[in-house]
């Protein structure tokens, strides 16, 4: 208790010195948490966006459907099993009918993946309400901004869509762009045109059929789904999880580098501060403080420094961390153009383990860099310490 | 009535290694100091007076010889035991005051009592009294940087006497002060010596303070040249 009182007095007495040390440590807290949070966010955000815009609670696939192989689209459709159909009727799920198509924007020909989706669904974050049928428009089409850019299409533009129906007959009609969506999931954007499900079913002569069904979060898995295959969220994001896992060593290296940089800053500030106090340590020893108590006092000051730095980081940098955690940081480059699923803005993710491990590790660093120099000085002859002969 | 000795030094030798050889700072020093004495170790720079003071205070150790301070053999005690002797029974006054810069006068004076685990109520009483002794009541909340050299040294004196030590060691306490402040400091110390049973040992080459000393021990080249008792000091 006596040492605690002296440590408190030393810390609050030396306003400038304490402020500088605490500030340096709190900046270290902030930088490590922020940069690591951005790195984690970069990986986590892509996963979250995929879940929000594509997967929701999970999916039921037609057994022949392989999203990586467009040749399967022609065969991967059927009438939905009754239990899945019931989910759709209850608006807990929606069906998507997938087929290959060609579009002719401005006289050019472009291959496209045509997806029929239930207008007005609210299960995934795609603005499908814009596809509500307008009698004046033959085929209302929703596309993403990248697709619009590549095809040079604008809202209101009409173009020809050609497709192969279930009877293996080519047919064509006029589609009109009713909306251009901004989505961070390039898989919904590039090469995709979205039309109303019922329209797609009638165009393809596949009444009441779908390729896959996406259901809302929180629903139990239906067991009796015929030959349709259930895929949960974990399955759907397995590739991303594998990527994240593969990137973990990289993330750990980066975290270590950040910690090392922070440690160097703290080390400089603490070492300078303690070695400048060599004469003070000598005086304390002359007044009868034992070596172990001197070391304990300065280590305790380091611990209190870390504690104050945590509070300062929370007060000074907490709002900044929160702001970027909520709003993200817009990226100057659209990585979707490169086919990389990176968000258009980086939203840092601060996991509890990141915050706690950073605070614990930095506090340990502060304790070590407080302990080592004070131990070194306390082992000097008091007469040398009194003369301020302490040196790094 | 016989008085108890607070310091008994026999055949003290202190050598410092210099390069591959060594420098002898003190050689064959014999010294006894009785309770309540007011002694000056005087001599030119390098005569060994500060080294002797440091050894008495347990801040440095002897190369040879026996050093008994307050009935404890200093050469046979551990660092922690020496720290305890200093904490409980000694006070130090340094040439450059060695006050803790972030502490106020009150807090600097209070420090030895905190180290000795003195209760808060006792601390308040003792600190106030020590500050009154040195006449710094109006500076209680000032920090060293806000005070003159004389005031800083008076604070250091208050810190050295606040726990009523048996032995007070002062290394050149007036070297950084002007004549007026030097006399003020010595008057305070002389008065404390009269009122308390504390023994005082000064290391000094300041002629101004010689007139206050009741015993003057001349050192030169690490040896005691003469040891003179003054029956009536000039500024008594």
Q: Does A3 touch chain B (CB under 8 A)?
A: no
Query: Contact B87/A289, CB-based, under 8 Å?
Result: yes
A20 touches chain B (CB under 8 A): no
pTM to 2 decimal places: 0.71
Q: Which of A10, A376, A383 is nearest to B92 (CA)?
A: A383
State which residue of chain B sits closest to A2, comparing Cα positions. B114
CA atoms within 13 A on the CB side of B101: 12
Q: Which residues of B touch A21 (CB under 8 A)?
A: none
Interfacial B residues in 69-88 facing A (CB < 8 Å):
79-80, 83-88
pLDDT of residue B89 exceeding 90: yes
Whether the CB of A319 is below 8 Å from some CB of chain B: the reply is no
* B59·A381 Cβ contact <8 A: yes
CA-to-CA distance for A43 and A57, rounded, in angstroms?
20
Residues B94, A383: C-beta atoms closer than 8 Å: no
CB within 8 A of A194, min separation 6: which ones?
Answer: A115, A116, A117, A126, A128, A131, A141, A142, A143, A188
Q: Which helix (H) or strand (E) holds B93?
A: strand B90-93
List chain A pLDDT tens, one digit each, 392 residues.
Answer: 788 888 888 888 888 888 888 898 888 889 888 888 887 887 777 788 889 999 999 999 999 999 989 889 989 999 999 999 999 999 999 999 999 999 999 889 999 999 999 998 999 999 999 998 677 788 999 999 999 999 999 999 999 999 999 888 999 999 999 999 988 888 899 899 999 999 999 999 999 999 999 999 999 898 888 899 999 998 888 887 887 778 778 878 888 888 888 888 778 777 877 778 888 888 999 999 998 998 899 888 888 888 898 899 999 999 999 998 888 887 766 665 565 555 567 788 888 888 888 888 888 888 888 888 888 888 888 888 888 766 55
Task: Measure in Å the smallest separation between the Cα of B75 and chain A Cα atoms.
Answer: 15
Query: Is residue B54 classed as helix, strand or coil in its secondary structure?
Result: helix
CATH for B5-229 is 3.40.50.300
How far apart, in whole angstroms, are the C-alpha atoms of residue B41 and residue B158? 22
State how beta strands A158-164 and A93-104 pair: antiparallel
ipTM value, please give it. 0.91
Summarised one tens digit per residue, pLDDT across range B144-194 is: 999 999 899 999 999 999 999 999 999 988 888 788 888 888 888 888 888
Confidence of residue B1 (pLDDT cuts 50, 70, 90): very low
Q: If we measure between CA atoms, which residue out of B60, B2, B9 comes closest to residue B36?
A: B2
Q: State whether residue A280 sits within 8 Å of chain B by CB.
A: yes
Phi, psi of A275 (to 5 degrees): -70, -25
User: Smallest Cα–Cα separation from B201: which of B215, B218, B221, B188?
Assistant: B215
* Residues B52-72, mean pLDDT to the nearest whole number: 92
CB-closest option in A5, A13, A14 to B114: A5
Record: contact A386-B84, CB cut-off 8 A: no
Q: Quote the pLDDT of residue A342.
A: 57
Are the CB atoms for B130 and A40 separated by under 8 Å?
A: no
Flag whether residue B112 sits within 8 Å of chain A, measured between CB atoms: yes
Closest-approach residue (CA) in chain A for B81: A290
Angle, helices B149-161/B179-195, rounded to nearest 10 degrees: 10
Q: For chain A, give the longest Cα–Cα distance.
A: 101
Q: Chain A contacts of B114, Cβ < 8 Å?
A: 2, 5-6
User: Cα A115–A223–A76 angle (5° rounding)?
Assistant: 30
Helix residue ranges per DSSP H, chain B: 49-56, 79-89, 105-115, 120-133, 149-161, 179-195, 207-210
């Amino acid at each position: 208790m006596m040492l605690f009182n002296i440590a408190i007095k030393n810390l609050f007495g030396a306003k400038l010195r304490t402020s500088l040390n605490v500030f340096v440590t709190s900046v270290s807290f902030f930088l490590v948490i922020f940069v690591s949070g951005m790195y984690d966010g970069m990986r986590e955000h892509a996963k979250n966006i995929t879940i929000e815009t594509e997967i929701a609670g999970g999916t039921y696939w037609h057994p022949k459907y392989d999203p990586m192989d467009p040749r399967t689209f022609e065969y991967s459709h059927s009438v939905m099993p009754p239990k899945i159909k019931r989910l759709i009727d209850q608006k807990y799920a929606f069906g998507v009918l997938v087929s290959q198509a060609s579009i002719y924007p401005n006289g050019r020909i472009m291959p496209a993946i045509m997806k029929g989706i239930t207008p007005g669904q609210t299960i995934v974050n795609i603005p499908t309400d814009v596809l509500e049928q307008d009698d004046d428009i033959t085929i209302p089409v929703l596309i993403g901004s990248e697709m619009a850019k590549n095809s040079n299409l604008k809202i209101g533009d009409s173009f020809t869509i050609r497709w192969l129906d279930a009877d293996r007959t080519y047919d064509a009609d006029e589609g009109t762009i009713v909306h251009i969506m901004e989505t961070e999931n390039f898989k919904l954007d590039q090469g995709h045109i979205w039309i109303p499900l019922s329209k797609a079913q009638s165009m393809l002569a596949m009444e009441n059929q779908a390729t896959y069904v996406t259901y809302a979060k929180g629903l139990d898995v239906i067991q009796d789904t015929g030959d349709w295959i259930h895929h949960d969220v974990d399955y759907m994001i397995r590739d991303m999880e594998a990527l994240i896992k593969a990137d973990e060593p990289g993330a750990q290296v980066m975290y270590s580098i950040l910690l090392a940089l922070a440690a160097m800053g703290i080390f400089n500030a603490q070492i300078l501060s303690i070695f400048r106090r060599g004469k003070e340590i000598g005086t304390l020893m002359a007044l009868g403080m034992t070596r172990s108590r001197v070391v304990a006092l300065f280590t305790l000051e380091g611990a209190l420094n870390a504690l104050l730095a945590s509070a300062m980081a929370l007060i000074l940098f907490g709002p900044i961390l929160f702001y970027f955690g909520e709003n993200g940081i817009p990226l100057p480059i659209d990585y979707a153009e490169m086919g990389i699923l990176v968000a258009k803005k980086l939203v840092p993710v601060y996991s509890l383990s990141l915050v706690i491990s950073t605070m614990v590790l930095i506090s340990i660093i502060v304790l070590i860099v407080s302990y080592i120099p004070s131990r070194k000085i306390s082992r000097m002859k008091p007469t040398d310490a009194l003369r301020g002969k302490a040196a790094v | 009535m016989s008085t108890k000795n607070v310091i008994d030094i026999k055949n003290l030798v202190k050598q410092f290694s210099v390069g591959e050889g060594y420098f002898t700072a003190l050689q064959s020093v014999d010294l006894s100091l009785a309770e309540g004495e007011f002694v000056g170790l005087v001599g030119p720079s390098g005569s060994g007076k500060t080294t002797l003071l440091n050894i008495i205070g347990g801040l440095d150790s002897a190369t040879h010889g026996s050093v008994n301070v307050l009935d404890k053999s200093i050469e046979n005690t551990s660092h922690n035991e020496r720290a305890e002797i200093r904490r409980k029974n000694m006070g130090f006054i340094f040439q450059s005051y060695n006050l803790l810069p972030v502490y106020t006068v009150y807090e600097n004076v209070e420090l030895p009592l905190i180290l000795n685990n003195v209760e808060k109520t006792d601390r308040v009483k003792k600190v106030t009294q020590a500050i009154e002794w040195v006449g710094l009541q109006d500076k209680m909340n000032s920090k060293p940087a806000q005070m003159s050299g004389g005031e800083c040294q008076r604070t250091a004196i208050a810190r050295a006497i606040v726990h009523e030590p048996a032995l007070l060691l002062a290394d050149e306490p007036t070297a950084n002060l002007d004549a007026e402040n030097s006399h003020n400091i010595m008057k305070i110390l002389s008065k404390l010596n009269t009122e308390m049973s504390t023994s005082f040992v000064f290391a000094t080459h300041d002629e101004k303070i010689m007139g206050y000393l009741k015993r003057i021990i001349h050192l030169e080249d690490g040896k005691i040249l003469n040891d003179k008792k003054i029956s009536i000091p000039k500024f008594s």
